[in-house]
Amino acid sequence: MSSFPNRTSFAKTNRINNHSNRNFKNKAIIILNNQLRQLLKKPNDHFSVGLVDESNVFLWEVIIVGPRDTLYEGGLFKARLQFPSNYPDSPPKMRFLSEMWHPNISKSGDVCISILQNPNTQTYGYEEHLQRWAPVHSVETIVMSVISMLSDPNVDSPANVDAAIQMRNNRDEYEKQVLTGKNFTLQPQQQSIINRLFDEMLKKIGIFTGLIPWILMIITAIIPDTEILFGFDILAKTYDVELPDSFSGPLIVNRWLSLADHLYEREIRGPESFATWNGNVYASLADGRIIQLLTDNYRTVTFLNPENRSQEECRKNFQSSMGHCARPLGLRFSSKGQLYAIDPYHGIFEINIDSGHYRLLVDIDKHRLPDGESPKFLDDLVLIENPDDDDTMLIYMTDASQKWLLHDVYYTVGEMDETGRLLSFNTKTQQLRIELDNLAFPNGLVLNENKTTILLNEFNKRRILRYRLDRPGHYDILVDGLPGEPDNIKRSLNKNQETYWIGLFTGRNHHKPSFYLDTMAKHPYLKRTYFRMIRMIGFLFENIGRLLLCWDRLTQFGYDIRVANFMYPIVAEYGMAVEIDSNGRIINSLHSPDGYTSQLSEVYEFRNNGKERHFYLGSYSNQYIGRISVPINDDDKKYESFTDELQKFKIKNQEFCTIENCKEIA
């Protein structure tokens, strides 16, 4: 299609750039898969291996059993192996994630051993060239060499000079420090058995198979209140939110979202929101990073890390959900170029995008509401600056729920939670106050054109509220009965008309409702039983993983069940976004009937050097940034709506989907 010129050129560029490395990479994939298969088929009693991500064979996780008759005996030590694309011609890199005190392991965990050194690098007098890497080596020889290194450190070539000096001069203190890094004790035979059982268990259990789910289903169905026994309960109730009768008029089915590019796929996670400064676009990610989008790549601006956690820790869902890691959601720039990022676990960060330095401007542990409570689930924000006083700014923010935290957001929706609030914070007086309460999952915010009104997305009720700043405590409904749950709301670039883009979690109409979001809403007993069951199943597996300390895969598996992460792709079958005018009338819509681009949090419109309009598509959970590119007519620089674009390119509805599918969807 002529409206998507970047799609083909971008793909061609990638093919050219990757062509020279493809043969090496294919060879490495084959060899690594073979070595992994052999180690799983015939496990080694001294260590176990697995992939960190099943889709990436170049990153392995290794659990080493401390060798007998050494200081490390009985300990379990976790490490990562990162393989290059030209493996086995070049060696991998190995880093311990467990705390290690050893002369040949750096303080950051990097392993310094001859077998992992490239033979072409400088050889020192105490190190023979033949001891270095050769393509005949395998993962097994690497790990066994590292285990041997644990038993027999080389103090002549230390990666940790302090450990080497301590080992020479004060052996007792060295031994004490080594022992503090050990995990719990298991015999190697027990460890090997558990490894095998764990791998077999993940292959066979499934989410709804076996006896455990059925037993828990019976328990959850008959217990009137699980709060006392399990510390939680689902207060499901009957509700019915109106859906559009059909997709017609401005909601006519198309495939704009299905044709979107997916940028940085599997390199990032959860690009929730976007903001622009000086012609550059910035995004917030689930692992705590703020990134700047570049032409073919991205740059990390800063890593929000208020509790000094590693990026590796914060990339894991179950780690970041504990609140130790920041999770920036909404983004806004001030008129002076300071970036403000709202984080549900900590508060609001003020960020200098040039230096990457940041400070916690609103601290939920420090800044309390008049009743002494603190916010629980901060989501989005808008800034109202005082032109006469640089020190004074009002920040309005949504507090999505007083019951559920961010990682339990699915229960906020499933329970039809109505404990959300609109809050405000005065930067001069440092006062936090409640503007509105009893809201059904208040989410995205935006100021209107003349900055007199805040538009607020109410996710659970699928509507948009209008909050006038001159009438505190009051609101009216701007839009009701949206074709999906509205997440963020952002102003379009249309200068001729005040319009807003709204990302929807999943689109649907009266003829094709969602079983999980609409049908189950009418059967609270069924919904309560279902939610209780998955929460307890997940809790069981997650805590088994935590008790075993070293199996992140099992912990992550249980966590994804407990917080219903596995439900997102099941529920979000249909991608959709809408554009509304200032009167709340829907004037345009974007669709992905096949669900290729769904679970949208935001549609952010950006003009790129006057040549193209980009529509960046954010998501709470997707592992990519979506982008639609539309060329700007050189003869006429005026803003054209999507309706104008459809007419200009004479795109018929038949080109978006088959007649049968369109009838079925509409």
CA atoms within 13 A on the CB side of 231: 4
Q: Is 662 a catalytic residue?
A: no
Contacts of 413 (CB under 8 A, 6+ apart): 441, 459, 460, 485, 517
Which of these, 258, 315, 313, lies nearest to 286 by C-alpha position? 315
Instruction: Write the CA distances from 636 to 24, 189, 357, 630, 640, integer angstroms.
Output: 48, 74, 42, 14, 9
**Phi/psi of residue 305, nearest 5 degrees:** -140, 65
Q: Tokens 């993940």 sit at which residue?
A: 202
Burial class (CB within 10 angstroms; exposed 0-12, middle 13-18, buried 19+) of 70:
middle
Which residue, 616, 634, 633, is CA-closest to 625? Answer: 616
Q: Which residues 6+ apart lie within 8 Å of 509 measured at CB? A: 243, 244, 245, 246, 247, 251, 483, 665, 666
Nearest to 82, CA basis, from 53, 108, 125: 53
Q: Give the chain's length.
A: 666
3-state secondary structure 345-382: CCEEEEECCCCCCEEEEEECCCCCCCCCCCCCCEEEEE
Helix axes 171-180, 161-169, angle to 10 degrees: 130
CA angle (529 as vertex; 526, 532 as ends), nearest 5: 145
Instruction: Return the ∠ at Cα 373 (arms to 369 and 374), rounded to 5°.
Output: 80
Cα–Cα distance for residue pair 166/217, rounded to 1 Å: 57
Helix (H, G, I), strand (E, B) or coil at 419: coil
To the nearest 10 degrees (0 to 180), the angle between helices 139-151 and 5-41 is: 60
Composition of the chain by helix, strand, coil, percent to 5: 30, 25, 45
Catalytic residue among 112, 325, 550, 657: 112
d(CA 431, CA 394): 10
Distances in Å between the Cα of 639 and the Cα atoms of 348, 450, 603, 606 are: 34, 20, 17, 12
Specify the DSSP class assigned to residue 634: T
SS3 593: coil
d(CA 2, CA 639): 18
Q: Residues with catalytic annotation?
A: 112
